[in-house]
Amino acid sequence: MNATAIPGPTRPLRERGQHEVFCGLTSIVWLHRKMQDAFFLVVGSRTCAHLMQSAAGVMIFAEPRFATAVMEERDLAGMADMHDELDGVVKRLLDRRPDIRLLVLVGSCPSEVIKLDLGRAAQRLSTSHGPSVRFLHYSGSGIETTFTQGEDNFLSALAHDLPQEPADAEPSLIVAGALADVVEDQFRRILKALGISRVSFLPPRRSTELPAVGPNTRVILAQPWLGESAKLLASRGAQILSAPFPLGEEGTTAWLKAIADAFGVQSGRFEAITEPGRRRARKAVAARRSELEGRRLFFFPDSQAEPSIARFLYREAGVIPVEIGSPYLHRHHMAPEFALLPDDVFVSEGQDVDNQLDRCRAARPDLAICGMGLANPLEAEGIATKWSIELVFTPIQGYEQAGDLAELFVRPLARRAQLKMGA
């Protein structure tokens, strides 16, 4: 393959074949923990219910915070009015769980294909159950969303409902994207030290703590998969700040810098406040660098965070990205990341899993970052893997987690080196 044919960030390889990815419903697995007073009701089929419990059912729930309204033959045959049926299901649910404050109706492939209007249902249910319970709806269907895009749609739905901030309000900041609580607290502290105190996070920890949005609101994305949410917040007048994502020392600094600049923080102050964190992050990553430097990594598409993680590992740990696969590339939001990656880095968007596996086998990477449908089979073929979903479930953003993020990639390599059992 000559240099001009290598699919770089501007010319990604696009393939249409089997996509080995999750649908957006999976986002419920972390969203239900982030927003503790919310309940996610999927309107779908037994397949949807089975997906949810296969993903989350290994945890034992005394009080589950998600469920599925499973459509049945008589719903599809028109023998039952779907909206009446849904009302019945919601009533049964709220009778059992009076503590629910926000009920989120989540669309699925079957409900989208038959065009069940969940927007109308949410509106109607708000009238009959409000104001103690709010209703929202979004689509997490596989035909429309891949994995983390479910969160994007949920945040869009939340953003649509945010209160309007008056035009003369003090400048404020919304950090968009579900972050681990500890990461959120760290960012809040740094921003406060920078003199930025009107800060809110979307999604908030409770449905009653939604921030207001208006023309003086700045929005920074903490996660790369929020294309729709950003668009919606912009349509509400907010200014979207552009930055690499806060992974590693470099990413976190650039991300904070974009905020600091937007709020007119003086550079001396910025340096003084961020220096300790930067120093610690560098130190923590440096400790893992020897394990990672020169390693060749192959990213299968999963969450859209692949370019950001590849950038961190390339710039700060010296890894060589062999292929960066992403389910979807948002050109604009990813531009700051690709500016930090080599021009000829091999990028693929979408997937044909069999072809991609062929490329992976041919490349024999030191580590393949992939979903759990591929991980054990690749391990059995002798290719070390890092299962990618963990990158969504682990606190990895910010200075204090930079070392932990690098560690996630060291661990499978170190484990392989340590295990001595022949075979």
Partner 1 sequence: MQLTVWTYEGPPHVGAMRIAASMEGLHYVLHAPQGDTYADLLFTMIERRDTRPPVTYTTFQARDLGKDTAEIFKTACARAVERFKPEAIIVGASCTAELIQDDPGGLAATLGLDIPVIPLELPSYQKKENWGASETFYRLVRAFAPAPDRPRQMRRAGQRTCNILGPCALGFRHRDDIVEVRRLLEELGVGINLVAPLGARPSDLPRLADADFNIVLYPEIAQVAADWLKRSHGQPFLSVPPIGVGATDKFIRSVAEMAGIDTSVQHPPELRLPWYSRSIDSTYLSGKRVFIFGDATHAIAAARIARDELAFEVCGLGTYSREFARELRAEAHEQGVEPLITDDHLVVEDAIIAAQPELVLGTQMERHVAKRLRVPCAVISAPVHVQDFPARYSPQMGREGANVIFDSWVHPLMMGLEEHLLGMFREDFEFNDEQHPSHLANAGAASKRVQHPAEHELIVLAQTLSWDGEAEKELKKIPFFVRGKARRNTERYAAERGLITITLETLYDAKAHFSR
Per 3-state DSSP, the chain is made up of helix, strand and coil in percentages (nearest 5) of 45, 15, 35
Tokens representing residue 90 in the block: 């919601």
Residue 61 within binding range of partner 1, rule CB under 8 A: yes
Helix (H) or strand (E) holding 174: strand 172-176
Find the binding residues for partner 1 in span 240-269 (CB under 8 A): none
Residue 63 within binding range of partner 1, rule CB under 8 A: yes
The contact pattern for partner 1, residues 305-344, with x = CB under 8 A and - = no contact, is: ----------------------------------------
* Least Cβ distance, residue 216 to partner 1 (angstroms): 30
- Residue keyed to tokens 């893992």: 288
Residue 356 within binding range of partner 1, rule CB under 8 A: no
List of residues 6+ apart from 170 with CB closer than 8 A: 198, 216
Choose, by CB under 8 A, the member of 11, 36, 99, 114 that binds partner 1: 114
Binding span for partner 1 by CB under 8 A among 11-19, 123-131, 154-162, 168-176: 11-19
The contact pattern for partner 1, residues 156-195, with x = CB under 8 A and - = no contact, is: -------------------------xx--x---x------
Beta bridge partners of 7: none
* Least Cβ distance, residue 123 to partner 1 (angstroms): 18
Choose, by CB under 8 A, the member of 258, 347, 375, 391 that binds partner 1: 375
Comparing CA positions, the residue from 216, 215, 182 lying closest to residue 201 is: 182
Tokens representing residue 29 in the block: 């697995």
Binding span for partner 1 by CB under 8 A among 91-99, 197-205, 244-252, 298-306: 91-99
Residue 110 within binding range of partner 1, rule CB under 8 A: yes
Mapped onto helix, strand or coil, the DSSP state of residue 321 is strand
* Least Cβ distance, residue 134 to partner 1 (angstroms): 19
Nearer to partner 1, 84 or 168 (CB): 84
Question: What sections of 194-296 are H helices per DSSP?
Answer: 227-235, 248-262, 267-292
Comparing CA positions, the residue from 274, 246, 290 lying closest to residue 398 is: 246
Tokens representing residue 398 in the block: 């910010």
Tokens representing residue 378 in the block: 């690749």
